[in-house]
A and B are shown apart, each in its own frame.
Chain A
Amino acid sequence: MSTKSLYQEVILDHNRKPRNYGTLEHASHKAVGHNPLCGDHLDITLQLKDDHINQIAFHGESCAICKASASMMTTAVKGKTRSDAETLIQEFREMTLGELDLESPHHLGRLTVFSGIRDLPTRVKCAILPWHTLHAALNDLTDVSTEATNDPVQNISENASDSV
């Protein structure tokens, strides 16, 4: 893959002007995500109302891939049910790991701009971190690390299969 196709305008735009950037004062759910290998971190706060993500915000320091992924994630899951959000988390994870057939029906929409990251294994964690953090927030886990012994991916898989 060419990194030129990864650093597309849509990703650069979300990096420059991240959507839903900040912290919700009255969050019902929140979590912090870390990547200790590079020092990146972000926190996610959200308001769940009638099982829908009513409001969501993120805040932190990270590379462009992570920040754009977080920004686009917040716009994608806002208004969605918890279970729809979990489906997106699962699909996004599978896409970045190269396990999702993009020709088959999925719900990722514009998030497929991140599909090229599957060819950059060292950067996959950057793209996935916001999604793992969202998963942690939705499941009342306070924090998540890319280097944790408990692989958040495992939790996602288990919970996702529960919800299907």
Chain B
Amino acid sequence: MAQNNVLAALHTSAEFDVERIRADFPILSIEVEGKPLVYLDNAASSQMPQQVIDRLVHYQTAQHANINRAVHYLSEVATDEYEKARHKIQQFVNAREQREIIFTSGTTDSINLVMHGYGRRFIQAGDEIILTTLEHHSNIVPWQMLAKEKGAVIRVVPINDAGELDIDAYEKLFNERTKFVGLIHVSNALGTINPVKQMIDYAHQHNVPVLIDGAQAAPHIPIDVQALDCDFYAFSAHKLCGPTGVGMLYGKASLLEAMQPFKGGGDMIASVTFEKTTYADIPHKFEAGTPPIAAVIGFGAAVDYLCSIGMDQIAAHETKLLHYATERINAIKGARILGTAAEKTAVISFVLDGVHPHDIGTILSQDGIAVRTGHHCAQPVMQRYNVPATSRASFAFYNDLSEVDVLIEGIQNVQKIFL
């Protein structure tokens, strides 16, 4: 019955053809334990379409060499493709200049780069760094390391029961010692979309720069770093259909130029003698050593793929999935959704009365359903809700409504087992 509703709903969306999109992803047709895979762990990592796989194969088959070095043909091709990827990412986030895009190994690496390059240079003893309860550990731990090293202080913005930041409390945290804000755009544990524009504006009134952790935002909503006016923005390729091992850091050129390099080595220098090294200009100053060239080019292909669908279309389809899944999980007796913010991406963290998340995850896996269980690298969020862990279904644009139905049946099956 629900199946029919699903088909009806799908036919109303003329431009967005989820069946055609699903056909781009070879992994979506595999079976798990004899059941069709229902992949709902996209917040951890998304799957890769054939277009990106093909791009990686083409690069390795016909274009590979080291970049920025030799004058031979392949090196020039590889360098050109690598920089084209940078241009695609620049356009994807609407950065003013291509040199404001730095390739890193991922969001964690990007945040660590800012901590080392900016934080260690400009943050002093007694200075305050504002973070929020919603941060992923990757935007907590580097700042704790810095705070410990410098004698700086971390201040934390609380959340309400819905999982929304307390903006009044945020604004009250500012004083003359406030020197940096680290802010997650979309909560990986709850899906809350934070009012980052408003928060950045407020920080800038106090001349405080803001780093946005966009790992969970960039795959789901359009990003415009100039409109946000953020100082830094970070995300990973593998959460938006690209390869693992690569991500990006956007930074305003003036800030990046003022920063120290994070890693020293080849590719990041202008000249080296044993007396003195002159660093290369941005972005190369921050890209020491041979980067994951294939992964960067795959990152560019992933962004092309997302743009061919359209981030607005992606957001609209995922919102439909969110509303349908929320409604159906809320209708299950004994199920409770954590994180009910007015503005959310398609992430549903839930707990079931009397059943531990790990048991839920294992039993759902038996039905071919992949969800994440645990603390989602966001222990402060778990502590706020006084739970050790949750189960999290996180959707991507290639999920369809029938997969929500499979999830619901799976949850009901878990309840039956634990009756």
Taking the nearest CB of chain B, how far is it from the CB of A140, in angstroms?
28
Decide: B366 and A12 in contact? CB cutoff 8 A: no
Is B155's CB within 8 Å of the partner chain A? no
Query: Which A residues are in CB contact (< 8 Å) with B359?
Result: 7, 63-65
**B389:A38 contact, CB within 8 angstroms:** yes
What are the residues of chain B within 8 A of A149 when measuring CB–CB? none
B65 at the interface (CB under 8 A from A): no
Question: B358 contacts A3, CB within 8 Å?
Answer: no
Nearest CB of B to A115, in Å:
16
Chain B residue nearest to A120 in the complex (CB): B362
Whether B375 contacts A2 by the Cβ 8 Å rule is no
Which of A3, A6, A38 makes the CB contact (< 8 A) with B375?
A38
For B366, the chain A residues whose CB sits under 8 A away are 2-4
Cβ-closest chain A residue relative to B379: A39
Given known contacts A38-B375, A39-B375, A63-B356, A6 and B362 CB-to-CB distance under 8 angstroms: yes
Verify if B62 is at the interface (C-beta below 8 Å from A): no
Number of chain B interface residues as a range: 10 to 19
Chain B, 336-378, contact with A by CB distance < 8 Å: what is the 0/1 string?
A: 0000000000000000000111110011011000000111000
Among A4, A39, A120: residue with most chain B CB under 10 A:
A39
Return chain A residues, CB-CB under 8 Å to B356. Answer: 40, 62-64
- Among B33, B373, B388, B418, the most chain A Cβ lie within 10 Å of the Cβ of B388
Q: Are A38 and B388 in contact (CB under 8 A)?
A: yes
Which residue of A has the minimal Cβ distance to B355?
A64
Q: Mark each residue of chain B from 21 to 51: 1 if its CB lies under 8 Å from any CB of chain A, else 0.
A: 0000000000001000000000000000000
- If A39-B388, A62-B356 touch, whether A3 touches B374 (CB-CB below 8 Å) is no
Considering the chains assembled together, what is the distance between the CA atoms of A64 and B357 in angstroms? 10
Per-position binary interface string of chain A over residues 27-41, scored 1 when its CB falls under 8 Å from any chain B CB and 0 otherwise: 000000000011110
Contact mask A108-144 → B, CB, 8 Å, 1/0?
0000000000001001001000000000000000000
CA distance A55 to B395 in the complex (A): 49
Distance of B218 from chain A, by nearest CB (Å): 27
| CB pair A12 B362 closer than 8 Å | no
Q: Within the complex, what minimum Cβ distance (angstroms) separates B380 from chain A?
A: 13
CB-defined contacts of A51 to chain B, threshold 8 Å: none
Which residues of A59-73 are within 8 A (CB) of B?
61-65
Contact code string B90-113 (vs A, CB < 8 Å = 1, else 0): 000000000000000000000000
Q: Which residues of B contact A39 (CB under 8 A)?
A: 375, 382, 388-389
> Shortest beta-carbon distance, B80 to chain A, in Å?
43
Chain A residues at the B interface, C-beta cutoff of 8 Å: 2-4, 6-7, 12, 15, 37-40, 61-65, 120, 123, 126
Q: Could you give 28 example pairs across A and B, Cβ below 8 Å?
A: A2-B33, A2-B366, A3-B362, A3-B363, A3-B366, A4-B366, A6-B362, A7-B359, A12-B418, A38-B357, A38-B358, A38-B373, A38-B388, A39-B388, A40-B388, A61-B388, A62-B356, A63-B357, A63-B358, A63-B359, A64-B355, A64-B356, A64-B359, A64-B418, A65-B358, A65-B362, A120-B362, A123-B358
